[in-house]
Amino acid sequence: MQKLEIEPTKTTLGISFDPNKHLLEFYGKSYPTNPVTFFQPLINWVEKYLLFYPSENTKLLFRMEYFNTSSSTFLYKMLEMFDVHHQKFSNVEIIFECSDKEDDVIDSWKSLLEDLDLPCEIKIQEL
């Protein structure tokens, strides 16, 4: 399985999905004009990853400054896939990093995880 790398833009996240390290990184801001076009390849990649590496410990690292409602819908889809996977294998770790000035983002993130049973560590960095 190939590594997936996407450079961040003004409106889309940077992505680094490394199947060999079992590390999926999301960073930057997310408010794409066409969220389906941006997120569907990510969802497809995650589906394949979970099939190829079902029992590997996987870390998801989110360093996000902002994400809008349409992005949260697709992020939730991906997190939901990992939630189902985690229920079977207990091998998913999520870390959400942000600055202490991003209270709205932290609240949105907590709301996103509310209905999921995924272990998540929130790291807040003081600026």
Residue 90 lies in a domain: yes
Residue 61 lies in a domain: no
Question: What is the domain range of residue 81?
Answer: 4-53+66-125
DSSP letter at 32 equals: -
Residue 13 lies in a domain: yes
Overall number of domains in the chain: 1
Task: Read off the amino acid at residue 49.
Answer: Y
Residue 103 lies in a domain: yes
Q: Tell me the DSSP string of 39-92.
A: HHHHHHHHHHHHHH-TTS-EEEEEEEEEE-HHHHHHHHHHHHHHHHHHHHH--E
Residue 59 lies in a domain: no
**pLDDT at 102 exceeding the cut of 80:** no
- Other C-beta atoms lying within 10 Å of the C-beta of residue 81: 16
Residue 79 lies in a domain: yes
Strand partners, 92: 58
Task: Read off the amino acid at residue 12.
Answer: T
pLDDT tens string 18-71: 999 999 999 999 999 999 999 999 999 999 999 998 888 999 999 998 999 999
pTM over cut 0.85: yes
